[in-house]
Amino acid sequence: MEFRHLGRSGLMVSEISYGNWITHGSQVEEDAAFACVRAALDAGITTFDTADVYAGTRAEDVLGRALEGQRREGLEIFTKVYWPTGPGRNDRGLSRKHIMESINGSLRRLRTDYVDLYQAHRYDYHTPLEETMEAFADVVHSGKAHYIGVSEWKASQIREAHALARELRIPLVSNQPQYSMLWRVIESEVIPTSAELGVGQIVWSPMAQGALSGKYLPGQPPPAGSRATDEKSGANFIARWLTDDVLTRVQQLRPLADQAGLSMAQLAIAWVLQNRNVSSAIIGASRPEQVHDNVKAAGVKLDADLLKAIDEIVDPITERDPARTESPAERP
């Protein structure tokens, strides 16, 4: 495993981190979840990402129990706050009330006194940013989180939050966006702004929800048991990529992966890690062997000719519009 600084902070994270968005507490049984976490630890992964909303808070609980007995100082545990975690009006968003109650719930479920990174899971248009950042400052100053991050924020929002964080003397060090060969909306605005401010990217879905794994073939139904056939595992997220045009071009990447001595999944993960502003790429898994395969992308260097060849293949199907940084459904 290779390690990188999280933005310009002193915190080191594993190049590949383990996330449990659509697996723990929902898609896979607990024994399988524990096995995947053990595989991640065995592979040298020290960075684990979750969120209070995943599987209705169950994912945090499973991860907390899976990591019990590990040396806490040797791990970087990340979680997030924003999405609803209960039926009440204040059980969502980035109000002071929800943040202060949510951090306590997350720490209880994760069985830890602190998280290394506490992230705003989306931007809250209904709460003043000053209120949100002041609450985050109290979380940090109370020792319940070491660093603050955001997820899927636009460049202008990151800049404004970063300025407030400096005033409040707290370290806002990361953004967690979707990023892959097929989804590059952060490249024109978010990446340059983040690089300027010292904010690193912890990217999710480097394999485009599995579309870049190569297992989905044009003109054929999705393989039985794959994510595309399971509503609990995010079938709606991958659906946008399951067109014949996209899948035909993805298959054209296979000779390039073979040439580099990589699997299709490894090529996809290695590709996002070529971006210097990316601190870590999040992988998920329902089986330990997926972890063992994916971690082989750590430390891989792709040469300029290979990167150019990849661009030539995927450019017609790549989403680059910076306005897609957040989903319209998430706006007020």
Give catalytic residue positions: 54
Which H helix or E strand runs over 14? strand 12-14
In SS3 terms, 64-85 reads as: HHHCCCCCHHHCEEEEEECCCC
**Closest C-alpha to 184, from 107, 266, 272:** 272
CB 132, CB 99: distance < 8 Å: yes
Query: Can you tell me whether residue 107 is helix, strand or coil?
Result: helix
> Is residue 205 within 8 Å of residue 178, measured between CB atoms?
yes
What b/e string do you get for 187-213 counting C-beta neighbours within 10 Å, with b at 16 or more?
eebbbebbbebebbbbbbbbbbbbbbb
Neighbours of 64 (CB within 10 A): 20
Specify the pairing of strand 3-5 against strand 12-14.
Answer: antiparallel
At 16, is the secondary structure helix, strand, or coil? Answer: strand
Instruction: Give the number of other CB atoms < 10 A from CB of residue 4.
Output: 17
DSSP string, 237-261: HHGGG-SHHHHHHHHTTHHHHHHHT
